[in-house]
Structure 1
Amino acid sequence: MNKMIVLFFLVMFVIGTDTFLISPLLPTLQNEFGISTEIAGWMIGAYTLGSALFALIAGPLSDGWDRKKVLLCGLTSFAISTCLCGFAVDFWTMCLFRLLAGISAAFTAPQVWASIPALFPPAKISKALGVAYAGLAASQALGVPIGSLLAAGSWSLPFWTIGGFSLLLAIFAAFAVPAMPPKLQQGAPTSILQRYVPLVTSGKARGTFLAYFFVHLGSSAAFAFLGKWMTDRFHLPIDETGYVILFLGLGNLLGSLCSPYVLKWLKPAQTMAAGMLLLIASYLVLPYVSSVFVVKGAYFFIFTLLGILFPLMVGLLNSLNPTIRGTISSLATSTMNAATTLGAWFAGMLYAVWNGYASVSMFTAVCLACSLLIFLASGVLTAQTEKAESKAGG
C-alpha cells in the first residue's frame, strides 16, 4: 500500500509540475520561436485545453476499462508527449505537443482519484487522497523553481527530465498497481453520455458539483490577480511575488498532508463548515493588510485550509457513485478548469472596474459562502458523516 501511495503522489507531482513548467520558460521560448507576447500564452493554453476537453471523454471511457491499463497508457503517452516538447522546432509544434500532453494528463490524473477508493481500505482512503493531492500542492510550490533550474542548461532539459521521470513511473506502476477491471452493475450505462445520467439526475450529485464549482471559482479569482495586487500594493518585483507563490504551495502541501488527521478529529461537516468560515473571514480581511509579511502568512494559512478541504471534496465526489468514479473524477477536472477560466475573467473585470483586490476578495468570499451552503443543502456531508460513524461503530 505504501508504494502505491508514493506512486500516486509522484504521478500527481509530475502532472502538476508539467502544468506549471512552461511558465518560467515563456520568455525563452518566445525568443526561440520568434513569437509575440500576445500568442505566447497559447503554449500554456494548449495543455489546459486538451486536459479540459478530453477529461469529459476519458472518465466515462475508463469506467468500462481496466483502470491500471488506462493509467499506464495515459502515463506513457504523457511521458512521450512531454519529451517531444523538448524537440519542438517552432511555435506550432510546441502547441501540438503541449496539447497531446494535456490530453494524456486527462486520461491519467482521474485514474489516480478513482483508483484510491478501489485499492485502499476505507480507513486509509482519506490519507491516500491527501497524499495524492499533496503531489499537486508540491508541484505548485516547486514546479516553477524546478523549471527555472533545469532550463539554465537548456530550455529542452525540463521537458526531457519530466518526460523521462514519467516513463520510469509508468514502468513502476506496471509492477506496483494491481489490475482493476470495471465493476459496472448489470444494466449500467455503456455510452459516454449515459454514464453522466446518474450524476445529472441526482440532486445530491448536482449540488456537490455545483459547490465544487463555486470553491474553484472563488479561489481561482483570488489567485489570478494576486501577482498584480502584490505589485500594485507593495511594489514587489516579479521574483518577490514568486516567493509569495512558494508560500502558497507550501501551505497547500502542509494542509493536504494534515487533511486525514483533521478529518479524524472533526466530522466532515464540521471540517467543511469551520474551514470555509475561516477562509471567508481571511479573504475579507486580506485586502486591508498593510504588511507584505502578514500577507505571506495569511496566504500560507489560506492555502493550508484549502489543502485540508480539497481532499475532503474529492472524497465527497467519489462517494456519489462508486461504479462511475472515473466519470466523476473527469467531470471534477473539467469543472475545476471551467471555474478557473471564469474566475480569472471575473477577477479581471472586478479588479479593473471596482475597488481593486478588495472587490476580488469579496467575490471570493461570496463564492465560498455559496459553496458551503450548497454542500450543506445537498446532503452529501451528512451522508459521509453517517457512513464514517457507522464504520467507526462497526
Structure 2
Amino acid sequence: MRRVPALSFAVMLLVGTDTFLVAPLLPALSARFGVPPTRAGWMVSAYAIGYCLTALVAGPLSDQLDRRRVLLAGMAVFCVTTAATGLAWSFASMLALRLATGVAAAVAAPQIWAAIAQVMPGRRIVPAMATATAGLTIAQLLGVPAGSLLAVRSTSDPFVVVGAGAALVAVALWRWFPAVPPSSPGGARTGLGSQYVALARTPRAAGRFGAYFVFQVGNFAVLSFAASWFARDFHLDQAGIATAMIVLGAGNTLGALVGPRIVRRAGQGRTLLAGSVCYVLVYATVAAVPTRWAGVGLLAGAFTVGGVLFPVMMNLLQSLTTSARGTVSALASVLMYAGSTLAGIIGGPLLAALPSFWGVSLLALGTTLVALGLWAASDCLRSEPAAG
C-alpha cells in the first residue's frame, strides 16, 4: 500500500496537466487548424463533455469490477489518445481525440479516489487523498506552464510528452498498484440506475453532494474571474497575470501538502469549520484591498485553505458508502464540472455589474455559507463523521 499515494499522485498529475493543457494553447491551436476563436473553445468543451457523460456510466460499472483493471484500461487509452492528439490533422480530428481523451480520463481518474478509500487504512485515507490532490494542483502550477514552453517548437509536443508520461505511469500501475476487488458482498451486480438511486437514499448523501456542488460554484467563480479582475482593476499584463495565478496555484499546493497534518491534529469537522470561516473572512474583504498584491495574497490564502479542504470533502463523500465508491467519485467529478459551468455563466455578469471584485467575492461568500450549512446538516462538522 505504500506505493498507492505516489502512483495516485502520478495519475492525477498527468490527468490534471492534460485537463488544463489546451486552454493556454488555444490561440496557437486556432491558428494551426484555421478556426476562429468563437469555435476554438470546443477543443476544451469536447474533453469536458466526454468526461462528464462517461463518468456517469463508468463510475457505477467500476463498482462491480476490480478497480485496478479499470484504472489500467483507462490509463492505457488515455496515453494513446493524448499522444495522438499531438498528431491531429484537422479541427474535427482534434475534437474527436479530445472527446476520446475525456472518456479515458473519466474511466481512470475516479478510480484513484475510490481505491484510496477502499485500500488505505482509515488514518491514512486523508493523507493519501491529499497526495493525489497535490498532483492536480502541481499540474496547474507547473504542468501547464511547462506545456506552454514545450509548445514553443510545436503544438504537438506537449501532447506527445504527456502521452509518453502516461504510458510510463500505466506500466508502473501494472507493476505496483494493488488489486481492488468489488466491495459488495459476493460481487453482486446491480443496474446503473439502481446504484444512483441507492446512493441518493443514503442518509446525508443529498446534503454532502449539495454542499460540494455549491462550494465548487464559488470556488470556480473566483478561479475563473480572478485574472479578469487583476487585468481590469490593477492593469496587470499577461506576464503579471501568469505570475499571480502561479501564486494562487502555489497556495493550493501548499494546502494539499500541509493539510493532512492539520486534519490529524484538529479532525475533519473542525478543519472544515475553520476553513469555511477563513473563506468567509477572505471573501468579505478581498474586494476592498487597495493593491494588487494584497488581493493576490488574500486569494492565495483562500486557495491554501482549498488545498486543505478538498481531500476532507472527498473523504466525507467517500464515507457515505463502502460499495459504490466509484459512483461517488464519478458523481463528484460531474458536480465539479457542473459547478465550474454555472460559475462561468453567472460569474462574468456579476463581475461586470459590481465594482472591483465584489460581484464574484459576494457570490463566493454566499456559496461558502450555504455549503457550510449543508455540511453541518449532513453531520460533517464532527471530527469523525459516521459513514452512511
Common topology (TM > 0.5): yes
Contact 2:64 2:187 in 1 (8 A): no
- Aligned pairs, how many? 387
Q: Does 1:235 align with 2:227?
A: no
Q: 1:200 Cα deviation (Å)?
A: 1.2
Q: 1:296 Cα deviation (Å)?
A: 2.1
The match for 1:324 is 324
The match for 2:274 is 274
Contact 2:379 2:385 in 1 (8 A): no
The match for 2:127 is 127
1:105-142 deviation line (CA, Å, top 9, x unaligned): 00111000000122211121111011011100111111
In 2, Cα distance between the equivalents of 1:217 and 1:94? 29
Deviates further, 36-45 or 291-300: 291-300
The match for 1:95 is 95
Q: 1:291 Cα deviation (Å)?
A: 1.3
Deviates further, 162-171 or 353-362: 353-362
The match for 1:48 is 48
The verdict on how the C-alpha distance between 1:187 and 1:194 changes in structure 2, with shifts beyond 3 A counting, is farther
Contact 1:204 1:380 in 2 (8 A): no
* Letter aligned with residue 306 of structure 1: G
Q: 1:386 Cα deviation (Å)?
A: 6.2
The match for 1:390 is none
In 1, Cα distance between the equivalents of 2:5 and 2:67? 16
Q: 1:143 Cα deviation (Å)?
A: 2.7
Contact 1:78 1:104 in 2 (8 A): yes
Between the two proteins, what is the percent identity of the paired residues?
38
* Letter aligned with residue 205 of structure 2: A
In 1, Cα distance between the equivalents of 2:386 and 2:196? 26
* Letter aligned with residue 107 of structure 2: F
> Which consecutive unaligned segments of at least 5 residues does structure 1 have?
388-394
Contact 1:80 1:163 in 2 (8 A): yes
Name the SS for the 1:199 alignment partner. Answer: helix
Contact 1:8 1:132 in 2 (8 A): yes
In 1, Cα distance between the equivalents of 2:142 and 2:187? 46
In 1, Cα distance between the equivalents of 2:73 and 2:21? 22
In 2, Cα distance between the equivalents of 1:178 and 1:305? 32
Supply the RMSD in Å over aligned alpha carbons. 1.5
The match for 1:177 is 177
Give the structure-1-normalised TM-score.
Answer: 0.95
Contact 2:47 2:98 in 1 (8 A): yes
Contact 2:286 2:357 in 1 (8 A): no
Q: 1:82 Cα deviation (Å)?
A: 0.3
The match for 1:284 is 284
The match for 1:245 is 245
1:29-72 deviation line (CA, Å, top 9, x unaligned): 11111110101111011111111121111100100111000000
The match for 2:20 is 20
1:293-312 deviation line (CA, Å, top 9, x unaligned): 21222122111100000000
* Letter aligned with residue 325 of structure 1: R
The verdict on how the C-alpha distance between 1:386 and 1:185 changes in structure 2, with shifts beyond 3 A counting, is closer
Q: 1:186 Cα deviation (Å)?
A: 5.7
Q: 1:188 Cα deviation (Å)?
A: 5.5
Name the SS for the 2:357 alignment partner. Answer: helix
In 1, Cα distance between the equivalents of 2:263 and 2:77? 36
Q: 1:86 Cα deviation (Å)?
A: 0.5
Q: 1:166 Cα deviation (Å)?
A: 0.2
Contact 2:350 2:360 in 1 (8 A): yes
In the TM superposition, 1:16-95 aligns within 5 A as 16-95=16-95
The match for 2:199 is 199
Q: Does 1:300 align with 2:300?
A: yes
Contact 1:316 1:381 in 2 (8 A): no
Contact 2:59 2:330 in 1 (8 A): yes
Q: 1:385 Cα deviation (Å)?
A: 4.3
Contact 2:221 2:364 in 1 (8 A): yes
Q: Does 1:342 align with 2:336?
A: no
1:314-345 deviation line (CA, Å, top 9, x unaligned): 00000000110000000000011001100111
Q: 1:356 Cα deviation (Å)?
A: 5.1
Give the structure-2-normalised TM-score.
Answer: 0.97
> Which consecutive unaligned segments of at least 5 residues does structure 2 have?
none
Q: 1:353 Cα deviation (Å)?
A: 3.0
* Letter aligned with residue 25 of structure 1: L
The match for 1:314 is 314
The verdict on how the C-alpha distance between 1:187 and 1:40 changes in structure 2, with shifts beyond 3 A counting, is closer
In 1, Cα distance between the equivalents of 2:110 and 2:56? 10
The verdict on how the C-alpha distance between 1:386 and 1:20 changes in structure 2, with shifts beyond 3 A counting, is closer
* Letter aligned with residue 294 of structure 2: V
In 1, Cα distance between the equivalents of 2:360 and 2:60? 36
Name the SS for the 1:167 alignment partner. Answer: helix
In 2, Cα distance between the equivalents of 1:168 and 1:289? 46
